[in-house]
Amino acid sequence: MHETTHPVLRPQPPGTGHHDPGARPPDTGRQRPGPRTPAADRPGPDARPPAAGRPEQDARPPVTGHRRPPGARATAGRRGFEARAAVGTESSGGRTVLGTLRSDPPLTLRQTGPDTVHLVSTAAGPLGGDRLTLEIDVAPGTRLTIASVASTLVLPGDGESVMVVRARVGAGATLVYAPEPTVLAAGCDHRMIVGLTLAEGASVSWREEIAFGRYGEPPGRCHARFDATIDGVPLLRQDFVVGDPAADGSPAVYGDARCVGNILLTGPAFARPQAATASRPGEPALTPPAAGAASPSSGAEGSGAVLAEGCAVLPLAGPGTLISALAPDAPTLRSRLTWGAAQATAPFEDGD
């Protein structure tokens, strides 16, 4: 747009009547005496032609620094990630193939076997403000195993971080979900949401492990929610909180434990109504209630329930078993969960 100002009308010297449409007026208050350089000799359209013998006015106000819009908030930190990754199986000639494998950093998926996928973290976190979603779809009659190459370290940031996992398992399909532990760094505020939907006849082994902070530090806060249904009927509804001082140090909740974990086993591939009693070689003996080392809860006798040091194997009302464990460290937690899973899936003993 061509804009001309005329503060004072006065005769102009010869040769100054030409105006370049691309010219920019100089800064307010500057004066450049003398005849103007002809347009042909100017270096380009950014040259600013002065009017001889008079002050020039800049039509644009001077820049005084970056100004945020009203109501904007200064943010020195990073913006939260919103990432969605997905994995899905298909049946091809009686074999399982991965029909869907979509990554979205920091959630990166790598196929490591015919029906195995590993989660590879390609960025730090989750950090406060991140929202990560993993979609799992196991087609009927197929099998999928999901693991991770390392633990997940949840870090503090601007707001709450959220990790959502939604899994659908078709009839006759098997899903094994067994990532490494989630570590709650001091100061984090994290939410874990799992939604597991199974068709009739589906089998699932689902493991979750949470470590209360890194070595020598208090844990951040985490609210974990787990919902599982079979053919539309609720199988397990569970939620717990880590990082609440009233609960963390209570002998009725976590006591002096630094790690908590669960394994859900359900479906024909993991059916076991009666617990065995023997510990695996090389592992600490966890004596079931029959030997008097622990007291069964009401109605546990003959139900297949096992309560032992730091570990409980509890049959669910539906077709499944929940193994829960507490431990002072991650290796001990893994050992107790593995032992509990072995009890839940061991063959019947003579006389059972």
DSSP secondary structure, 152-189, as one string? EEEB--SS-EEEEEEEEE-TT-EEEEEPPPEEE-TT-E
Count other C-beta atoms under 10 Å from residue 112's C-beta. 13
| 292-336 pLDDT per residue, tens | 344 344 334 445 688 888 999 999 988 899 999 999 999 999 999
The bridge status of strand 116-121 relative to strand 161-169 is unpaired
For residue 216, what pLDDT is reported? 83
Q: What is the predicted pLDDT for the residue at 251?
A: 79
Per-residue burial over 190-226, b if 16 or more Cβ lie within 10 Å, else e, is: bbbbbebbbbebbbbbbbbbbbbbeeeeebbbbbbeb
pLDDT at residue 348 in the model? 52
- Is residue 125 within 8 A of residue 81, CB to CB? The reply is yes
Q: Which amino acid is at 119?
A: L
Give the β-pairing of 174-178 and 143-148. Answer: parallel
For 327, the 3-state DSSP assignment is strand
Q: Which of 243-258 are b and which e, b meaning 16 or more Cβ less than 10 Å from the residue's Cβ? A: bbeeebeeeebbeebb
What pLDDT, on a 0 to 100 scale, did the predictor assign at position 287? 43
pLDDT at 135: 98
pLDDT, residue 349, reads 56
Residues of the chain with pLDDT under 50: 1-23, 25-33, 37-47, 49-76, 273-302, 350-352
